[in-house]
Each structure stands twice: as C-alpha cells, then as structure tokens.
Amino acid sequence: MITAAGRMPYPPIEPYRSGILDTGDGHRVYWELCGNPDGIPVVFLHGGPGGGCTPAHRRLFDPARYRILLFDQRGCGRSRPHAGLDNNTTWHLVEDIERLRVLTGAERWVVFGGSWGSTLALSYAETHPERVTGLILRGIFTLRRSELLWYYQEGASWLFPDKWERFQAPIPVAERTDMMAAYRRRLTDPDRAVRVEAAVAWSLWEGETLTLRPAPTLSAQHADEAYALAFSRIENHYFVHAGWLKEGQLIRDVERIRHIPAVIVQGRYDIATPMRTAWDLHRAWPEADFHLVDDAGHAVSEPGIQTALLDATDRFAAGG
C-alpha cells in the first residue's frame, strides 16, 4: 500500500516539436513532443474521453530520459472539430496512436494511461502488443456495464446525494431511469443553450467527485463552458456506445499482453472508477505490479497517486 507522501513532479517543460495529424476523415489531432529527442519513447493517453492534455501531464516523466508524446484525442483540447462526434470511437483513437507512432519514428514505446486513458491503453496494447514495451495504468476503467451504471445511474449517488441532485436537475423525472440516454438527447440537441446546460451539469458531476478532498481547481475546469462541451459530449457518446467494446473484453483479453511489464496504480476511495475494476484486472493479470494508494481518490494530482506514477515512470526509465 502507498499513502500520500509527496513527490513533486518534474519541472515544467515546453514541447520541442508539435503538429497536427490530419486523420483523413474530418479530424485534425494536435500532438506534441517533449523532453529528450533521443530519450525513451512514451505516449501519454489522457482521460475523459474528451479531457485533453495539460502542461502538468508533461511533468510525470523525467525530461532527460524520456521522449514524451502527448496528444489531444479527437474532438477535444486543441484538436478540431471541437466536440466533434463523427468518426470518433475507441478504434479510431487506436488508429491515431499508431499513426502518431509512425509519424514520430518510435518503433516501440511505453504506454501511459489514466482513467479513460487506461481503457484506451489496454485497447491499444491488446491490438498492437508488439509495439508496447511497458504499460503504466491509473484509475482502471474498462467500460463494463456495471462500471457505467455505478457512476451514472446508481451507486455513486449514495455517496454524493447533493451533487447527484444537481446532476439530475436538467433531466425530467420521467427520463431518469436512463440518465446516460437522457443526457445524450440533450448533449446532441440543436439548441446550443440546451447542450451547454447539460454539458456543464455532466462535467461538474465528474469534476466534483474525483478527489478524496475538495479540489476547487478541478471544479473550475469542469465548469468552463468550452471544456464541458467537449468533455461531456464525447464522454457521453462513448459511454452510450459502451466504448464499442464487447462486455468484459479488455480484462478477458489480458492474455495478449501478459508478457508486457506493467504497473497498475489505484486509489482505494476512487468513486469515478471504483477499485473493483482494478482488482479484477489485478486478479486476471497478477504479473502486473499492483499499487493501491490507501488515502486517495481518482485524480492524478492526488499526492499518493502522483508519487506512485512518478516512481513507475522512473522505474521504466531505469529499465526496470
């Protein structure tokens, strides 16, 4: 077990190269390279889906030892079209990762993913295991139906009834038996005002339940209209389609990646992606190192989570 000790992240850095990947099907994906151009290749997969990358994400890696690729997944961050849902599925993103690997000249690389990023990392690694030298996974999420219902229908609402009431507020009582479908209708409504109201409510439900202790900066980020529109529309789009994954697929197919060195980091009090999923993955994949942070929720910024992730990136940089 790990408790909240405190390792500081690496100092702020700026990209030494950036660009736009034209996917050929209507999306333009922003990407950047940071750190050492001759370093160990690593790709960072952000959460959401729809969350985008931030400068803080660059700081999880030793810039002297890593060549760090970050990119904003389709429809979010600096990628365009903003909040676009067409041609935006898990498998489109897996293809984008491969295109970026080829574009940036990495033969193989470490794959780092947290929350939804862990879903995408598992999807990519199980599709292209020969391209992955190691996996670092946080806040495990596999889009099983039970995981989605826990957070968006029943379960988490028992812990945050006040915040759940605000999440329910845009939805008429008659539609509340399927909150994801009800939000889908509003997040795709032709009236922008309807979309914005739903997007901010959906986004704040997540932003205010991610951490063990209140985090005002996360709340402010998730309340921002532009951020919320991309985050909520894309996230809901993926969830109503179960990520275009078969039920239980990612844990079932662990056999394809069992040989790859891996670290799993999970907060015990993670409400967004409860520990049960990480535990199920751990049981299916005992070869992966499992690190339980006993006094943390979900967010990468929580001290114990951040410390465990920095330790993991340092370990892979050292060849461990």
Catalytic residue check, 298: yes
Residue 86 appears among annotated catalytic residues? no
How far is residue 219's CA from residue 29's CA, in Å, rounded to a whole number? 26
Active-site option among 62, 270, 282, 291:
270
* Omega cis (within 30) before 172: no
Domains and CATH numbers, the chain: 17-143+244-317 (3.40.50.1820), 146-243 (no CATH)
Cα dihedral sign, 97-100-106-107:
positive
**pLDDT at position 5 over 70:** no
Residue among 71, 31, 73 at smallest CA distance from 50: 73
pTM above 0.85, yes or no: yes
Q: Is 270 a catalytic residue?
A: yes
**Residue % of the chain over a pLDDT of 70:** 98
- pLDDT beyond 70 at 275: yes
Report the DSSP pairing between strands 109-114 and 132-138: parallel
Q: Which tens digits make up the pLDDT trace of 33-80? A: 999 999 999 999 999 999 999 999 999 999 999 999 999 999 999 999
Give the N- to C-terminal CA distance of the chain in Å, as an integer. 20
Contact 32/63 with Cβ under 8 angstroms? no
Read off the pLDDT band of 4 (50, 70, 90): very low
Find the helix or strand (DSSP H, E) in which 68 lies. Answer: strand 66-71
pLDDT(1) > 50: no
pLDDT at 11: 97
The 10s digit of each residue's pLDDT in 293-312 is 999 999 999 999 999 999 99
**274 exposed, middle or buried (CB, 10 Å; 0-12, 13-18, 19+)?**
buried
152-165: pLDDT as tens digits: 999 999 999 999 99
Which among 122, 96, 110 has a CA at the least distance from the CA of 68? 110
Residues in the chain, total: 320
Average pLDDT over residues 159-183: 98
pLDDT at residue 116 greater than cutoff 60: yes
* Catalytically annotated residue among 115, 123, 203, 232: 115
- What is the residue-wise DSSP string for 124-140? HHHH-GGGEEEEEEES-
